[in-house]
Chains A and B, each alone.
Chain A
Amino acid sequence: MRIAIANHSVPFIFGGAEVLENGLKQKLEEYGHQVVNIRIPVLIHPPHKIIENLLTCRFLQLENIDRFIALKFPVYCIPHANKVVWLLHQYREMYDLWDTPYCGMPKTPHGLNAREAVVQADQTYLPEAKAIFTISKRVTGRLQKYNQIDSQVLYPPLDNADQYQTEACGDYIFYPSRINHIKRQWLAVESMRYVKTGVKLMIAGKPDVPSEGERLHAAIAKYGLSSKVRLLTQWISWEEKLKLFAQALGVLFIPLDEDYGYVTLEAAYAQKALITCRDSGGPLEFVESGKTGWVTDPDPRQLAEALDRLYLDKAKSAHMGAGGKERLLAMNIGWDTVVGRLLA
C-alpha cells in the first residue's frame, strides 16, 4: 500500500508526536508498505494564521496514495477518499484549555473567529474520515464531549520497550519530559519544599523555550532546594535515560490533562511506581493508585506525601513498579494491533 502520514508540528521542536510519527512510518515500512510523510508547520499568531493554516490543508490535493493517516488538526482537513484519523489531540486551546491560563489565544474578535473556524472544521472534516482513532480515552472523551464525534481508542506502543531495565531503587524520583508550563515541572519543584524524608527529584528535559528552564532554576535556588532537586536541561543520551529510569525510586509525571504520555509506559517497562495527579489525563488510564503508583490532587503537599511514601518503603515501591509492568503487558499494546486497525 502507498501510505501518507500527516503531522502538524512546530519546526525545530521534537516531542512525543514526532516520536510517534517516525515510529509509525518505520513500522509501516517494516510491514512492507511505501510511506511518505507530510509535515505542515503550526501557525498560531496572529489568530487569522490558524484559518490560513486550515485553508492550506483544505486546498491541498493528495494523489497516488491508498491510505492517508492524519494525526492532528488541521492536517485531517486534507481531502482524501481513504482518510483515517489517528488523533493525538485536538486543538486543545480552542476547547478544554480555552478558559485556562494555558490558552494563548486572545479573547478578541479575531481569537473568537479562529476558535469558531477550528470547531467548524472539526465538525465538518473529521466525519469525512473512514475511521477515527485516538491515542487515549482522554482524547476520545474530549472529542465526544466537545464535538459529539465517536472514536475508538488505539494506544501507541512504546518504541524499544524491551530495552528498559530495572535496577535497585535509588533515592530519586525521575521526571523526564519536555519542560513547559503545562507539564508542571514547577509543581514538582514546589512539592519538594514539603518532603520530610531524604527523597530527591531529578527533572530531565529540554525546555521548549529557554525561559522555562531558567524559571525552574530560579525556583530551585529561591527555595534552597539545590541539594534535593537536580535539573538536567541538556540533551541526554538514550543510554543515560535508560540508566536514570533503571535506578530511580519512582517516576513522577504530573502534566495537566496529558493526552497520553509515553512517560507512563516508560515507567512501567522500567518497573517503577508512578506518581501522577487526578487531573493529569492519560496516565490515569494506566495507574492504579495504591497498587502500581499513587494518584494525588495537584497539590504540593499531597505530592510530597506520595514522594515520601515511596522513599519510606522501597520494597513496596519496587513491588508497585513490577505490578505496573504486569498491568501494561496485559493491555496488549503493540504495532500489530495498530497497523492492522489503521489499514483495515
Chain B
Amino acid sequence: MKIILATQIGSAQELYHAAGELQIAGALQRSGHQVEWVRLPFSNNSPEILEQILAYQLLDLSAYGDRLIALRAPAYFIQHPHKVVWFGEFLPEFYRAWNTPYQTGTITPALRRIRELLLNQDKKKLGAAHAVFATSRNAAAKLKQCHGINARVVYPAYPMEGGIPDGICGDYFLFYAPLEKLNRPLLAVESMRWVASPVKLVFCSPSPDPGLREQMEKMIRQYGLESKIKFLSPDCPEKEAGEIMAQCFGVLHIPFDENSVKAAWLAGRFKKMLLTCSDSGAPLEWLEPGQTGLAVKPVPEDIAKSLDRIYREQAAGKHMGERALAGQLRRKHDWNEVVERLLA
C-alpha cells in the first residue's frame, strides 16, 4: 500500500515522539508499504488557531496514497478518503486545561467562540475518519466524552532495550516535564516545604513559560528551599541526561489529566519508581500502585510524605523501579503490532 504519514512539527519537539514516528515509518516499510511524509508546522500558542486549522483543512490529498495515517493533531484535518487517526492530544488549553486553574490565558467571549468553533470542527473531522485510535485509555475516554467518538487504544511502542544503566542512587527526585501550568511544577515546589527527610528535587525541564519559572523561583526563596531544589538545563547531552535519570530515587511526575503514558514508560526504562497523582491521567494506566510506584492526592503534604518514604526506604523504591522495568519488558508491544492494528 502507499501510505501517507501526516503529522505536525510543533513547538513540542519531543525527541521520543520524533523517534517514534520514524519507527512507524520503518515498521510500515518492513511490511512492504511505501511511505511518504507530510509534515506541517503548528503553533499551540498562537491566537490564530482557526486559521492554522484551516491551513490543514485546505490540504486535499485525495489524489495521493491508499491510506493516510494522521499522527499528531491537527493532522487529521487534512482531507483524505481513507484517513486513520491515531489521537494523542490536541490543544490542551482548549480541552483539559479549559476552565481549570491550569489554564494559561483568561476566558474571554472571543476565546469562548473560538473554542466552540474548534470543538465543532474537531468533532466533525474525527467523526469523518475511516478509523480513530487513541494513544492511551485517557485519550480515548476524552474523545468519547467530548465528541462521542469511540476510539480503540493503541499504545506507542516505546523502545525498551538499551540505555538502562545500573541504578546508582543519588539523593534526589527528578522532575523532567516542561515547566507548564498543566504539569504543576508549583505543586512540586510546594511539596518540598513539607518534606522531613534530606530528600532533594531536581528540575531538568524546558521552561516555555518564563512567568511560571519566576513564580517558582520566588516561591523557593520565600520558603528557603534553595538547598533542596536544583535546576539543570534540559539541553544537556544525551549521556548526561541519562546519568541524571540514572541517579535519581524516582521520577516525580504530577501533571493534571495527561493523555500520555510516556512518564511511566520512561521511569520504568531507567528502573525508577514513579511518583504521580491520582488525577494525573494516563501515567496511571501503566502504574501498579505500591508495586511500580505511588499515586497520591495532588496535595503537597501527601506528596511530601511519599518523597520522604522513598528516601527512607530506598530498597523498596529500588524494587519498584525493577518491577516497573520487568513489567514493561513483559508487555512485548512493538511497532509491527502498532502498524498492524492501525491498518486493520
Contact = CB atoms under 8 A, between A and B. Distances in A.
B51 interface: yes
Interface in B30-78: 34, 36-43, 45-46, 48, 51-52, 54-56, 58-61, 63-65
Contacts of A52: 58-60
B41 A11 contact: no
A11 B36 contact: yes
A61 B40 contact: no
A78 interface: yes
Interface string A15-39: 0000000000000000000101111
A63 B41 contact: yes
A56 interface: yes
B319 interface: no
B333 interface: no
Nearest to A10: B64
Nearest to B64: A11
A38 B59 contact: no
Given A60-B40, A63-B41, A36 B13 contact: yes
B320 interface: no
A62 interface: yes
Contacts of B11: 63-64
Nearest to B44: A63
Contacts of B41: 4, 38, 60-63, 65, 78
A60 B41 CA distance: 7
Contacts of A59: 48, 51-52, 54-55, 58
A52 B58 CA distance: 6
B13 A64 contact: yes
Contacts of B43: 61-63
A53 interface: yes
A4 to B, nearest CB: 7
Contacts of B13: 34, 36, 64
B46 A63 contact: yes
Interface string A57-78: 1111111110000000000001
B184 interface: no
Contact of B40 (A38, A43, A49): A38
A40 interface: yes
Contacts of A11: 2, 4, 36, 38, 61, 64-65
Nearest to B11: A64
B212 to A, nearest CB: 17
A36 B39 CA distance: 9
Contact of A40 (B4, B10, B59, B60): B59
A12 interface: yes
Interface in B99-113: none
B9 interface: yes
A56 B51 CA distance: 9
B52 A12 contact: no
Contacts of B39: 36-39
A56 B59 contact: yes
Nearest to B50: A59
Contacts of B58: 52-53, 55-56, 59
B34 A43 contact: no
Given A12-B34, A12-B36, A60 B64 contact: no
Interface string A118-150: 000000000000000000000000000000000
Interface string B309-339: 0000000000000000000000000000000
Contacts of B56: 56
A224 interface: no
B46 A39 contact: no
B290 to A, nearest CB: 40
A210 interface: no
A276 B37 CA distance: 35
Contacts of A58: 55
Contacts of B59: 40-41, 43, 52-53, 56
B26 to A, nearest CB: 16
A160 to B, nearest CB: 23
Contacts of B42: 60-61
B55 A41 contact: no
Nearest to B36: A11
Given A36-B39, A56-B59, A61-B43, A41 B64 contact: yes
Given A11-B64, A53-B59, A64-B11, A40 B52 contact: no
A63 B42 CA distance: 8
Nearest to B54: A59
Contacts of A38: 9, 39-41
Contacts of A64: 11, 13
A94 B284 CA distance: 56
Contacts of B9: 4, 36-38
Q: Which of B11, B52, B58 has the most CB of A within 10 A?
A: B58
A92 B146 CA distance: 47
Given A4-B9, A40-B38, A63-B45, 10 more contacts: A12-B2, A36-B13, A39-B39, A52-B59, A52-B60, A53-B58, A56-B55, A56-B56, A60-B55, A62-B43
9 contacts: A36-B13, A36-B39, A40-B38, A40-B40, A55-B58, A58-B55, A59-B52, A61-B43, A64-B13
Interface of B: 2, 4, 9-11, 13, 34, 36-43, 45-46, 48, 51-52, 54-56, 58-61, 63-65
Interface of A: 4, 11-12, 34, 36-41, 43, 45, 49, 52-53, 55-65, 78
Nearest first, the 7 A-B pairs at minimum CB distance are A59-B55, A61-B43, A11-B36, A11-B64, A63-B43, A62-B41, A52-B58
